[in-house]
Amino acid sequence: MNSLHGAAPAVRLQGVVKRYGARNVVDGVSLDIAQGEFFALLGANGAGKTTLISMLSGLARPSAGSVQVLGRDVTREPYVTRRLLGVVPQELVFDPFFTVREALRLQSGYFGLRRNDAWIDELLQRLGLAQQAEQNMRALSGGMKRRVMVAQALVHKPPVIVLDEPTAGVDVELRQSLWQFITDLNRQGHTVLLTTHYLEEAESLCSRIGMLKLGRLVALDATHALLARFASTQLLLRAGGQPLPPALAQRARAVGARHAWTVRDAAEVERMLGELRAAGCEIEELEVRRADLEDAFLQIMAGQAGADA
């Protein structure tokens, strides 16, 4: 799919603020997402991700700043921008009075698409809904309802696809089929904006990543560049017996029940293990591995890494 909108970014956020009372839920976010990009927006619960998506989709108005989709302002041209977007929200939202096929035909009608059955059939097939096409929405499992929500978001072939936690609580089969389909659409030129708590999804799928913390953009970089900043070796262990030596305890960070350190090489690992043994620590579990996006995310959220935003 070739660009029909010149050089305009698929999504442009300029100084976006969303204020509820005295609190800024989104606090001055500026960000461009290029056409054809597969972009991840990450953050802990309450970071402002869903609020940003609500403003992008026109469900909420920014308190300050501007939101654009393919060069069109969401506040000034809501009907135009809604046609450019396909949004899959976190919440399960469905009409209990229609079958799956009827729901997709009704959604097509919202966008003035009268002869859309061929694409609806493809959506049903690609999302594993063909056998449920004539079932009432009330009869579907939660995972199947989420598949229908994805199909509804894609029924008008939007150039910009927004996925807000699309695989939360769904089975492995849906994840695999969904990501294969979305990746195919991205290769055809569709822009994809993803929020997810499954960081391995973001790492494997997305070419660039932004991270939000308390409504502010605290990191923004290409995925490979972000990982390169944290490409050190990680030593993770769980120790019993005596407390950690103070020098090692100061450098450690908690990863569940284990302690983690960034190390340069095998010689440093051996030296640290020697210090632990000398202090009377009993090593109950040990792992040495390369850092991944989860490590980067945890360090950035903890304020241990400089922001690139």
- Confirm whether 2 is domain-assigned: no
Q: Do residues 127 and 236 both lie within one domain?
A: no
Question: In total, how many domains does the chain have?
Answer: 2
- Residues 150, 209 within the same domain: yes
Domain membership flag for residue 62? yes
The reply to whether 237 and 96 lie within a common domain is no
Reply yes or no on whether the pLDDT at 92 is more than 80. no
Report the alpha-carbon distance of residue 227 to residue 62 in Å, rounded. Answer: 32
On the question of pLDDT at 95 being above 90, the answer is no
Looking at residue 228, what is its pLDDT? 79
Q: What is the mean pLDDT of the chain?
A: 89
Look at residue 144 in the predicted model and tell me its pLDDT.
Answer: 87
Residue 40 has pLDDT above 70, yes or no: yes
Q: Are residues 283 and 220 in the same domain?
A: no
Specify whether 33 is located in the same domain as 162. Answer: yes
Q: Does a structural domain hold residue 307?
A: no
| pLDDT value at 307 more than 50 | no
Residue 254 lies in a domain: yes
pLDDT at 67: 97
Confidence of residue 97 (pLDDT cuts 50, 70, 90): confident
Report the pLDDT averaged over residues 204-208: 95
Q: Is the pLDDT of residue 96 over 90?
A: no
If asked whether residues 68 and 107 sit together in one domain, one would say yes
Nearest to 207 by CA among 15, 44, 35, 5: 35
| Percent of the chain with pLDDT strictly greater than 90 | 64
Comparing 66-75, 121-130, 223-232, 271-280, the range with the smallest average pLDDT is 223-232
168 lies in some domain: yes
Q: What pLDDT score does 306 carry? A: 43
Residues 170 and 34 in one domain: yes
**The predicted structure's pLDDT at residue 172:** 84
Q: Does residue 306 form part of some domain?
A: no
Whether the model pTM is above 0.75: yes
202 and 258 together in one domain: no
Between CA 149 and CA 194 the distance in angstroms is: 15
Which has the minimum average pLDDT: 12-21, 203-212, 257-266? 257-266
- Residues of the domain holding 144: 11-227
Q: Average pLDDT, stretch 294-305?
A: 79
202 with 241, same domain: the answer is no
- The whole-number average pLDDT for the span 52-60 is 94
Residue 62 pLDDT > 70: yes
pLDDT at residue number 305: 45
**Are both 151 and 219 inside the same structural domain?**
yes
* First-residue to last-residue Cα distance in the chain: 30
Q: Determine the Cα–Cα distance for residues 244 and 250; give it in Å rounded to an integer.
A: 9
CATH number for 83: 3.40.50.300
pLDDT of residue 100: 93
Beta carbons within 8 Å of 257's beta carbon, 6+ residues apart: 238
Q: Which of 87, 289, 305 is nearest to 209 (CA)?
A: 305
Average pLDDT over residues 145-170: 91
- CB half-sphere exposure, 5, CA atoms < 13 A: 21
pLDDT at 231: 59
Domain's final residue, options 208, 227, 246: 227
Count Cβ neighbours within 10 Å for each residue of 164-202 and write b for 16 or more, e otherwise.
bbbbeebeeebeebbbebbeebbeeebbbbbbbeebebb
Q: Are residues 38 and 161 in the same domain?
A: yes
5 — pLDDT class (breaks 50, 70, 90): low
Specify the range with the lowest mean pLDDT, choosing from 15-19, 48-52, 108-112, 304-308.
Answer: 304-308
Percent of the chain past pLDDT 70, that is, above it, reads 95
167 and 103 belong to one structural domain: yes
The residue out of 227, 247, 271 marking a domain boundary is 227
What pLDDT score does 84 carry?
Answer: 97
Where a domain ends, among 227, 246, 277?
227
